[in-house]
Amino acid sequence: MEGGELNLVIKSAQKKKLFSSLPRKQARLFGFTLIELLIVIAILGILAAAVLVAINPQKRTRQARDAGRKNDIGSLATELQAYYTTPGEGKYPINDGCGSAGGLTTLTVSGGLKQIPADPQTGRSYCYDVHSNTTEASVHATIEDPTTAGGGQSSHLWCWRSTTNTAVELAVGACTVE
């Protein structure tokens, strides 16, 4: 081999060595490896799942609807008391049965309510019950997420009774007027 050819072979080998190490350096300088990206995505997925379990959006939705029901029952109770104490009345409106807004429509006619509140999930009106002498009444709604122990999904009511003028959580069947 002549000196020029040997020199060319050495330069060629040096170029190969230089170019063969270039992609590794570029990979470290310009981006992440696929494994690094997959690990980060897996960690984010685990964190997202943990947050969803902790938040429990379905339970929060049920609690929000129950809060609306309790607020509606409170509004109806206030208007029923106002109707009862109206001079010349001294009684509660006569009702048409549970799920019918019949007796409660009197409250819209008297100007107390613009419209009768309805259950946020079913759209039906709340149960309004009045004693035959129309001096005692109750309004109740079935709640989805009971706060007291025991019972299933529909075993508790949010109940307002005129005799106590308070709203409390009761078992089904306990919110009646005698």
Q: What is the pLDDT of residues 122-131, one digit of tens each?
A: 888 888 888 8
Rounded mean pLDDT, 50-63: 92
pLDDT at 177 over 70: yes
In a domain, 14, yes or no: no
In a domain, 145, yes or no: yes
In a domain, 15, yes or no: no
pLDDT at 4 over 70: no
Sequence-ordered strand ranges (E) for the chain: 127-130, 137-142, 156-161, 166-171
Helix axis angle, 57-84 to 34-55, nearest 10°: 30
Q: Residue 120 corresponds to which amino acid?
A: P
In a domain, 142, yes or no: yes
pLDDT of residue 109: 81
- Into how many domains does the chain fold? 1
In a domain, 94, yes or no: yes
Rounded mean pLDDT, 16-35: 63
In a domain, 39, yes or no: no
Mean pLDDT check: name the lowest of 135-139, 155-159, 173-177.
173-177
Q: Which domain holds residue 144?
A: 57-171
- pTM recorded for the entire structure: 0.69
In a domain, 177, yes or no: no
In a domain, 23, yes or no: no
Percent above pLDDT 90 for the chain: 28
